Amino acid sequence: MADFHFLNPEWLLLIIPVVVMLSLSQFKKSNSSAWQKVIEPQLLQHLLQSHNATGKPWLKLLSMAAALIAIVALANPVWDKKPESVFQTPRALVLVLDLSASMNAADLAPSRLVRARLKIRDILERSIEGQTGLVVFAGDAFSVAPLTRDNETITSQLRVLEPRIMPVQGSRVDLGLEEAGKLLDQAGIPAGDILVIADGFQNTQTEIITRELHEQGHRLSFMGVGTPEGAPISNGHGGVIRDRNNTPVLAHLEEDRFQKLADAGGGRYVRIALNNSDIDYLLGMPALNHDKQLTEMLAEQNRWKQSGPYITLLLLPLAALAFRR
């Protein structure tokens, strides 16, 4: 009973007028008794209705009791929970973020990475249904957040995602895709969306992994971060990365390669935009169906046992007594 509370406590305010009415009734009764002390009983019976004539004081008490029971029932007291089965659509989105050194390039101000993190924040604000997960990659890949309905958890971790946290540098999109596939498998999602936010990739296995995941039922889309013209890559110490000839290395956005991957993955490709047109384009895809039908997962939630409907049953014997008057 430590969890006892009312689901609709505002109904308890109705007790106030009930108490007022009861007080007025008692005051009227006391007033009648006072007149009996100063007026002859033979005369008083013509001036005041006798208590027995109106009657039935038990009927007033019955009415008051019924009113109080009804008010408590409307307030709906609860103190225990019960498991309840509900159906939820397993809509899932895994975001795969590039943390390679080239994401420090500044052809998008203030940098590609900052813009990518802001875009993920915007996506999370729009993704209010289903579950979302986050994977990061460079020369290796790992999960930052498993599939969850709590987007705030993912948002809170975005600001610490920097290339320097990655143990190995590179652009292994294929490893990021493998990690995303594992998250979907672990969550039992037969058909999920994977969105890669990156500025390039270097491994020939990427297209193979993309096709395999799509054949499993998933849909893969890609958001390119950067410009085709490219920009030097910051080394994190105020300078830029240079090749053997001491020439600054430029990171170009190769959109044709990303478009080819999107075609292989059954999704879409879009270049990151200042507004939300890119998100509108990606989220505008129809919901994934599994085996041509909307798949539902049986989930279990704990809900409060509502006692209000059962309390109203106490009104039945009171109503029966009232009809017998």
DSSP 188: T
CA distance 53 to 319: 22
**Cα dihedral angle (117, 258, 218, 299), rounded to 10 degrees?**
10
- Highest CATH level, class, for 87-300: alpha beta
Res 1: pLDDT = 57
DSSP-assigned letters across all residues of 223-253? EE-S-TT-EEPB-SSSSB-B-TTSPBPEE--
What contacts 278, CB < 8 A, 6 or more positions away?
119, 223, 270, 271, 272
Mean pLDDT of residues grouped by 10 in the chain (325 residues)? 78 86 69 55 56 57 83 84 54 95 93 97 86 96 95 94 94 97 94 96 90 97 96 80 85 93 97 95 79 43 69 78 64
Residue 69, token pair as written in the block: 């029971």
Helices (H), the chain: 15-36, 41-47, 51-54, 57-75, 112-126, 151-155, 173-186, 205-215, 255-265, 277-283, 308-311, 315-323
Please indicate, yes or no, whether the overall pTM of this predicted structure exceeds 0.85. Answer: no
For 45, the 3-state DSSP assignment is helix
Q: What phi and psi values does residue 63 have, to the nearest 5 degrees?
A: -65, -45
How far is Cα 157 from Cα 124, in angstroms, rounded to an integer? 12
**pLDDT for res 87:** 44
- CA-CA distance, 97 to 117, in Å (whole number)? 9
Q: Where in the chain is the domain with CATH 3.40.50.410?
A: 87-300
> Rounded to an integer, what distance in angstroms lies between the CA atom of residue 189 and that of residue 181?
10
Distance, CA of 251 to CA of 102 (rounded, Å): 6
| 189 in Cβ contact with 92 (< 8 Å) | yes
Query: Do you know the residue count of the chain?
Result: 325
DSSP E strands, 89-140: 92-98, 131-137
